[in-house]
């Protein structure tokens, strides 16, 4: 494993070296590559403070954190799929409602079994994705899209297009279940804590475990990883299982927030997750980026929509702005990488 | 070896064969399936997807991905209805197509010149176009009082073939001829098969990529415009965009187009669209609801993706090995 570490260490040090032929790499470029998304977040905060004195306050920043926490949870797992070079897991909108619906169904057993069963249901989709994409090498975009369609159809059919409500009278498991989203730990909303814990775990997994090291190599060069003896199929599968796990945690909390389990709860989370991950500096070619950067991507999305709401921008117009910024930032990032000779795509 | 050739024939013509099987099955089981009104309904409901699938398959052939087709369909439909009072039908149709060309051009330039991954470009473009269309329509259904055109498009003067279907068929057959028989059209396959080789062979690969996105944008907008003109209204419903993407994606894969590029056939994709429309028609004939349609569409897509992946998996397993030797080894192991 030490070889992989050496490769990783070298690639992070190399821009600082002086002898790199004709490549002209300035310090600002390196800073932009490493911390670019936080620079953007800082700019957004400065603009926000100029727009309204209420923007940069503890209350509003907590609102921003709360609004991004569910996306942050999803991304904590979904980042692995992009990191490992499998583009994106578009089946997140199926995992989220499925775990929520199963959890609500299992509520008579108590809150903890319900949550565990919900996560198990999400996990099953992850295992299925992992088997098909990891072992059979199916195209990840096509397969996960197919999963979304037939799971949505299945959920709609099984529940005949209805929603499922937990029994929320005080003292029951249902009351505890819907209280999960609204509870606080030491004055900080639980969901924010859960998001930070999940992101910290996945940062640790990505940087410090054998799986994380192998994922970097699989993402950078699949064939090389295969011939150097890494179990590539299992590595890809684990990435999809991690996505499903973190998405099902988010799904249960979304259901707890909405007080209903229904098939459309996860809509939009797939594309938001891709946006956040790619804004955070992970490239679709795989093997590049970090969870810290992805957290920055999630923060930027939250700050941006909060700022636009402060400025009175209509949600439809927000969509246009976010889409434009998405393409611009990714394009700029890729241009920088190409200039530094780090991108061969 | 005769068995092997049969399986290849079935695989090559799977869309048409599946269509025939489903068609015969439905004709035998449901009494109302074969009447001319129902068959016209199938052809008409297939018209939107079959126009869009031409461009979508072309993007696949060139080795990229276009997620913005659904959004552009909505845009085309909205503009065709919304511009009609000022410009008349011809003008609004041209306006819609032009808007599609512009969006496609932006997509293509970002992919080919700025070298951003097409998944990202079209994902962002989908969000942008949907947002713009919601602003344009104010989130409401746009409709027109002028029903003459929609009546004309929907009435079948020739049995089974109302003008809407004839326009669709002309587009499909024209595109099929262009991409299979002309030298320029074959260039898309060369570029999709291997971009470096195409460049070395003297093809302007960037131009081909931009052109593919322009064609896809234009055809999606035209598909949307035809759809809204025959309906005389355009709902501002994101589901329409999503369903179009879903059905077109499934049809493209069933039609034998592969995502890595360089292989595909427009006519087969059209048969696949007809297959999906026939299946949806059968589902509603037997009184099942819309969720079964989504489910069936997803299952078909999943099976085809699995089938393709399994074929590659089998091929990879024996890559570089002598198949006869492998077979004799397997036989000896069994003994």
Q: Which of A54, A32, A34, A36 is nearest to A45 (CA)?
A: A54
Domain boundaries, chain A: 28-339
Question: Residue A236's pLDDT is what?
Answer: 93
Q: Is A274 on the interface with B (CB under 8 A)?
A: yes
CB atoms B123 and A326 under 8 Å: yes
B301 and B189, same structural domain? no
SS (H, E, C) chain A: CHHHHHHHHHHHHHHHCCCCCCCCCCHHHHHHHHHHHHHHHHHHHHHHHHHCCCCCCHHHHHHHHHHHHHHHHHHHHHHHHHHCCCCCCCCHHHHHHHHHHHHHHCHHHCHHHHHHHHHHHHHHHHHHHHHHHHHCCCCHHHHHHHHHHHHHHHHHHHCCCCCECCCCCCCCHHHHHHHHHHCEECCEEHHHHHHHHHHHHHHHHHHHCHHHHHHHHHHHCHHHHHHCCCCHHHHHHHHHHHHHHHHHHHHHHHHHHHCCECCCCCCCHHHHHHHHHHHCCCCCCCCCCCHHHHHHHHHHHHHHHHHHHHCCCCHHHHHHHHHHHHHHHHHHHHHHHHHCCCCCC
Quick: pLDDT tens for A266-294.
888 888 898 899 888 888 888 888 899 99
A214-218, A254-258, B291-295: the lowest-pLDDT one: B291-295
B225 and B308, same structural domain? no
The residue of chain A nearest to residue B242, with distances taken between CA atoms, is A149
Q: Is A313 on the interface with B (CB under 8 A)?
A: no
Quick: pLDDT tens for B270-320.
999 999 999 999 988 888 887 888 888 888 888 888 888 888 777 777 666
B137 and B123, same structural domain? yes
- The list of chain B residues with pLDDT below 70 reads 1-4, 318-323, 332-335
In chain B, positions 103-142, which contact chain A (CB-CB < 8 Å)?
Answer: 110, 114-117, 119-121, 123-128, 130-132, 134-135, 139
Q: What percent of chain A has pLDDT over 90?
A: 39
Q: How close B25 gets to chain A, by Cα (Å)?
A: 23
pLDDT, mean of residues A106-120: 90
Total of domains in chain B: 2
Which has more confidence, B286 or A333? B286
B294 and B283, same structural domain? no
Quick: pLDDT tens for A52-68.
888 888 889 989 999 99
B213 and B332, same structural domain? no
B70 and B39, same structural domain? yes
For chain A, give the mean pLDDT: 84
Question: Residue A32's pLDDT is what?
Answer: 66
Residue at B168 is within a domain: yes
Q: Nearest by CB to A139, which of B110, B246, B259?
A: B259
B119: which chain A residues are within 8 Å (Cβ-Cβ)?
87-88, 141, 284
Task: Assess whether pLDDT exceeds 80 at residue A74.
Answer: yes
Q: Is B301 on the interface with A (CB under 8 A)?
A: yes
**The complex's ipTM?**
0.83
Interface test with A, best of B129, B250, B255, B295 (most A CBs within 10 A): B295
Q: Nearest by CB to A146, which of B110, B298, B316?
A: B298
Size of interface A-B (CB pairs under 8 A): 140
In chain B, positions 303-332, which contact chain A (CB-CB < 8 Å)?
Answer: 305-306, 308-310, 312-313, 316
CB atoms A136 and B313 under 8 Å: yes
Question: Residue A3's pLDDT is what?
Answer: 45
A152: which chain B residues are within 8 Å (Cβ-Cβ)?
291, 294-295, 298
In chain A, positions 75-114, which contact chain B (CB-CB < 8 Å)?
Answer: 87-88
The residue of chain A nearest to residue B307, with distances taken between CA atoms, is A138
B305 and B225, same structural domain? no
Q: Which of A66, A91, A63, A67 is nearest to A77 (CA)?
A: A91
Q: Nearest by CB to B302, which of A150, A152, A331?
A: A150
pLDDT, mean of residues A109-123: 92
CB atoms B127 and A320 under 8 Å: yes
B133 and B107, same structural domain? yes
B250 and B158, same structural domain? yes
Confidence of residue A34 (pLDDT cuts 50, 70, 90): low
| Cα B106 from Cα A36, distance rounded (Å) | 25
| Cα A248 from Cα A83, distance rounded (Å) | 20
Interface test with B, best of A129, A141, A145 (most B CBs within 10 A): A145
The residue of chain A nearest to residue B65, with distances taken between CA atoms, is A141
Q: How close B293 gets to chain A, by Cα (Å)?
A: 7
Q: Look at the domain A28-339 and name its fold.
A: ABC transporter involved in vitamin B12 uptake, BtuC (1.10.3470)
Quick: pLDDT tens for A159-213.
877 788 877 777 777 788 888 888 888 878 889 999 999 999 999 999 999 999 9
Choosing from B268, B288, B308, the residue where a domain stops is B288
Alpha carbon dihedral A70, A72, A73, A75, in 10-degree steps, equals 120
In chain B, positions 176-235, which contact chain A (CB-CB < 8 Å)?
Answer: none
* Most confidently modeled range among A35-39, A235-239, A258-262: A235-239
B195 and B284, same structural domain? yes
B308 and B202, same structural domain? no
Task: Assess whether pLDDT exceeds 50 at residue A299.
Answer: yes
Residue at B2 is within a domain: no
In chain A, positions 199-238, which contact chain B (CB-CB < 8 Å)?
Answer: none
Task: Assess whether pLDDT exceeds 70 at residue A14.
Answer: no
Question: Residue A4's pLDDT is what?
Answer: 47
Interface test with B, best of A82, A98, A142, A222 (most B CBs within 10 A): A142
CB atoms B119 and A141 under 8 Å: yes
CB atoms A327 and B309 under 8 Å: no
The residue of chain A nearest to residue B249, with distances taken between CA atoms, is A142
B277 and B137, same structural domain? yes
Interface test with A, best of B112, B116, B293 (most A CBs within 10 A): B116
Residue at B8 is within a domain: no
Residue at B7 is within a domain: no
The CATH number of residue B238's host domain is 1.10.3470
Residue at B4 is within a domain: no
Q: What residue numbers bound the domain in which B332 lies?
A: 289-335
Return all residues near A143 (Cβ < 8 A) that are at least 6 apart.
Answer: A129, A132, A133, B302, B305, B306, B309
Residue at B251 is within a domain: yes
């Amino acid at each position: 494993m030490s070889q992989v570490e050496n490769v990783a260490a070298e690639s992070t040090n190399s821009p600082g070296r002086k002898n790199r032929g004709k490549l002209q790499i300035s310090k600002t470029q390196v800073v932009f590559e490493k911390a670019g998304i936080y620079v953007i977040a800082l700019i957004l905060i400065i603009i926000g403070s100029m727009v309204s004195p209420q923007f940069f306050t503890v209350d509003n920043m907590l609102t921003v954190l709360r609004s991004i926490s569910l996306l942050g949870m999803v991304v904590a797992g979904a980042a692995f799929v992009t990191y490992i070079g499998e583009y994106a897991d578009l089946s997140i909108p199926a995992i989220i409602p499925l775990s929520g619906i199963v959890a609500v169904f299992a509520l008579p057993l108590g809150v903890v079994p319900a949550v565990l069963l919900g996560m198990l249901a999400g996990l099953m989709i992850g295992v299925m994705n992992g088997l098909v994409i990891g072992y059979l090498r199916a195209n990840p975009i096509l397969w996960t899209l197919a999963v979304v369609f037939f799971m949505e159809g299945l959920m709609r059919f099984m529940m005949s297009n209805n929603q499922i409500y937990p029994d929320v009278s005080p003292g029951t498991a249902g009351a505890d279940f819907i209280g999960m989203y609204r509870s606080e730990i030491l004055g900080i909303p639980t969901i924010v804590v859960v998001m930070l814990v999940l992101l910290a775990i996945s940062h640790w997994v990505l940087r410090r475990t054998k799986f994380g090291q192998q994922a970097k190599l699989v993402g950078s060069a699949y064939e090389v990883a295969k011939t150097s003896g890494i179990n590539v199929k299992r590595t890809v599968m684990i990435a999809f299982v991690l996505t499903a796990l973190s998405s099902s945690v988010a799904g249960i909390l979304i259901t707890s927030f909405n007080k209903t389990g229904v098939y459309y709860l996860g809509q939009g989370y797939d594309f938001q997750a891709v946006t956040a991950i790619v804004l955070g500096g992970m490239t679709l070619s795989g093997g590049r980026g970090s969870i810290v950067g992805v957290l920055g991507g999630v923060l930027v999305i939250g700050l941006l929509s909060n700022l636009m709401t402060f400025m009175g921008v209509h949600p439809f117009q927000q969509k246009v702005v976010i889409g434009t910024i998405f393409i611009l930032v990714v394009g700029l990032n890729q241009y920088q990488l190409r200039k530094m000779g780090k991108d061969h795509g | 070896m005769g068995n092997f050739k049969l399986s290849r024939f079935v695989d090559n013509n799977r869309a048409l064969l599946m269509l025939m099987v489903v068609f015969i099955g439905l004709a035998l089981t449901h009494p109302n399936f074969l009447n001319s009104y129902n068959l016209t309904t199938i052809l008409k409901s297939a018209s939107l997807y079959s126009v869009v699938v031409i461009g979508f398959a072309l993007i696949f052939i060139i080795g990229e991905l276009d997620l913005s087709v659904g959004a552009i369909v909505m845009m085309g439909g909205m503009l065709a209805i919304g511009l009609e009072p000022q410009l008349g039908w011809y003008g609004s149709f041209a306006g819609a197509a032009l808007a599609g060309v512009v969006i496609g051009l932006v997509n293509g330039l970002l992919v080919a010149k700025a070298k951003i991954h097409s998944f990202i470009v079209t994902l962002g473009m989908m969000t942008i176009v949907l947002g713009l269309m919601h602003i344009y329509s104010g989130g409401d259904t746009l409709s027109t009082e002028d029903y003459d055109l929609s009546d004309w498009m929907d009435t079948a003067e020739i049995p089974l073939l109302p003008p809407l279907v004839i326009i669709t068929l002309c587009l499909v057959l024209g595109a099929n001829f262009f991409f299979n028989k002309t030298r320029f059209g074959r260039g898309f396959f060369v570029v999709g098969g291997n971009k470096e080789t195409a460049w070395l062979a003297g093809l302007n690969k960037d131009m081909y990529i931009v052109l593919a996105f322009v064609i896809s944008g234009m055809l999606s907008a035209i598909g949307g415009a035809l759809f809204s003109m025959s309906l005389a209204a355009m709902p501002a419903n994101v589901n329409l965009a999503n369903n179009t993407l879903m059905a077109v994606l499934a049809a493209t894969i069933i039609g034998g187009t592969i995502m890595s590029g360089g292989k595909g056939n427009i006519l087969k994709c059209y048969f696949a669209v007809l297959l999906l429309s026939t299946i949806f028609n059968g589902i509603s004939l037997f009184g099942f609801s819309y969720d079964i349609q989504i489910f069936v569409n997803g299952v078909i897509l999943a099976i085809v993706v699995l089938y393709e992946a399994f074929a590659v998996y089998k091929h990879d397993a024996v890559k570089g090995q002598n198949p006869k030797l492998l077979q004799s080894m397997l036989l000896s192991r069994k003994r």
